[in-house]
Structure 1
Amino acid sequence: MLAGGGARRFGGADKPSAAVAGRALVEWVAAAASGASRLVVVGPPRDLLPHAVVVREDPPGAGPVPALRAGLAEVRSPWLALLAADLPFLRPVHLAQLLEAASGAGASGAVLVDGRGREQWLAGCWRTAALRTALDAYTGASLRGVLGPLEPVAVALPGEARPPWYDCDTPEELARAERLASSAPGSRARVGSVHDGARREAMSVLEEWMQAACLELGLERGDIDRDLVLDLARDVAHGVARPGAPLTAYMLGLAVGRGVPARDAAARLTELAEGWRGGDVDVPPEERARTEA
């Protein structure tokens, strides 16, 4: 992760430490790379990432190519992710897609492309050996100059409300990232279902949690029908057993992932729960006791 530089467009402030949705930019990027065997950060020491290997380019602020050289010296794995430190919407699933695209094509690497089709050189995965060879023969100062000839696979992720390639070079872009992080399409209202102040507060907390979880997992809030899942969980809890509610919601998710329409699957499960008779199944006494606890 390249986390140095003078951040001139950011007013000279420590851009990687700036927060989006209550989390520093550098922490978001580190979380996206949480599956890596080690995290190498090129830049000044920060308390935000205590387990990272921190190195500096020589001299400090010399640019991305010297920073890449300094970081690459610490890499031990055959593959690496080369990332900027200001990508608040990058998630592990995006890095997995990059790695799959590069390895599947037998390429030297893969990079994200933005909405205009431009390569994002600090949002990619690379074969370590290919990158070392390219750097050994390169005398220029341009990141594009060293990475472009490697002909990486271009990975486009259309339809993203919070693009994984979105970076925060200016205070205005940081403010927009905050707005994107907090925005979510409104879910359908349930008529007459919320009168009580405590319930309104609980649903508000739930909605905040859903937005945060979607942001963390790279999901779109508008793809999740909250009321559909809650109604199904309620029907199973009342008609079968309380522990069945989260399990059934999980099974609903698996069915939807396999192509079953959510409303169809929920209707079938609700009908099953409403007609359920526990006595129809021979449940061991110890399991029945645990279920009823």
Structure 2
Amino acid sequence: MRYDAVVLAGGRATRLGGTPKPTVEVGGTTLLDRALAATVGADRTAVVGPPGTAAGARDDVVITREDPPFGGPVAGIAAGLAALRRPGAPALVLLLAVDVPRARAAADRLLASPPAGSDGVHLVRRGRDQWLTGLYRRAALEKALAALEPHGAPVRRLMAGLDLARIPDETGVSDDVDTWDDVTRLSEEAP
């Protein structure tokens, strides 16, 4: 199955005291390296974040940024899709937030259950939709983005009009890092 990937690696990380999330190590590996390992099967990957975010990344990795910066995840998705736009691009896009340490396991779950008759699939943890850990039809995302102003828009609004399948995440592969306590807990659980 062919797909592209968008890794959202921007944001202010205020609950981490401003430490950029891509550089945070969980179990001895940076969150960005974990996310990039999860996208190794993608045709191309767009990392949306500040310049230098993915310095030295693979040849198939494009670095981009939402304009203006810090526009939120919807603006980041728009920037990532724009950076990946080209003739013959795959119909599917794997979307990952950089702060998911088990991104590889999450991606494996999503890729094992591609959207059949829906616009996409995403993980659901403890009743909460994890939209930033999903596999979507590019055309559906682009259509939804065209219907709103991406800068500052909530992800819930972007996803509201899409027909999405939900995959229960009972093992916590979509758990994310928001605080230093999360870093500690997830480092102890990291493979």
Q: TM-score range by the shorter chain?
A: 0.7 to 0.9
Q: 1:6 is matched with which residue? A: 12
Q: TM-score, normalised by structure 2?
A: 0.86
Question: Which of 37, 60, 79 pairs up with 2:43?
Answer: 37
Q: Which has the higher strand share?
A: 2
Q: Is the 8 A contact 2:11 2:70 kept in 1?
A: yes
Q: 1:16 is matched with which residue? A: 22
Q: Measure, in 2, the Cα distance between the counterparts of 1:157 and 1:120.
A: 9
Q: Does 1:165 align with 2:174?
A: yes
Amino acid in structure 1 at the alignment position of 2:103: L
Cα RMSD for the two superposed structures: 1.6
Q: Does 1:54 align with 2:60?
A: no
SS at match of 2:8: coil
SS at match of 2:142: helix
Residue 133 of structure 1: CA displacement?
0.6
Q: Measure, in 1, the Cα distance between the counterparts of 2:127 and 2:41.
A: 27
Residue 67 of structure 1: CA displacement?
1.2
**Residues 100-119 of structure 1: per-residue CA shift (max 9 Å, x gap):** 43433x110000011x1210
Q: Measure, in 1, the Cα distance between the counterparts of 2:20 and 2:169.
A: 29
**Residues 169-197 of structure 1: per-residue CA shift (max 9 Å, x gap):** 1111111111112xxxxxxxxxxxxxxxx
SS at match of 2:94: strand
CA pair 59-33 structure 1, distance change in 2 beyond 3 A: same
Q: Is the 8 A contact 1:88 1:167 kept in 2?
A: yes
Amino acid in structure 2 at the alignment position of 1:88: P
Q: Measure, in 1, the Cα distance between the counterparts of 2:27 and 2:106.
A: 19
Q: Does 1:68 align with 2:77?
A: yes
Q: Does 1:113 align with 2:121?
A: no
Q: 2:133 is matched with which residue? A: 123
Q: Measure, in 2, the Cα distance between the counterparts of 1:164 and 1:23.
A: 16
Amino-acid identity (%): 39
Q: Is the 8 A contact 2:115 2:135 kept in 1?
A: no
Residue 96 of structure 1: CA displacement?
3.9
1:181-192 matches, cutoff 5 A: 181=190
**Residues 120-159 of structure 1: per-residue CA shift (max 9 Å, x gap):** 011000000111011101236111111132131110132x
SS at match of 1:69: helix
Q: Which has the higher helix share?
A: 1
Unaligned residue ranges in structure 1 (runs of 5+): 182-214, 216-293
Q: 2:3 is matched with which residue? A: none
Residue 48 of structure 1: CA displacement?
5.5
Number of residue equivalences? 176
Amino acid in structure 2 at the alignment position of 1:131: L
Unaligned residue ranges in structure 2 (runs of 5+): 1-6
Q: Does 1:90 align with 2:103?
A: yes
Residue 66 of structure 1: CA displacement?
1.3
Q: Measure, in 1, the Cα distance between the counterparts of 2:111 and 2:25.
A: 27
Q: TM-score, normalised by structure 1?
A: 0.57
Q: Measure, in 1, the Cα distance between the counterparts of 2:13 and 2:106.
A: 25
Amino acid in structure 1 at the alignment position of 2:165: V
Runs of 4+ in 1 over 6 A off after TM superposition: none
SS at match of 2:115: helix
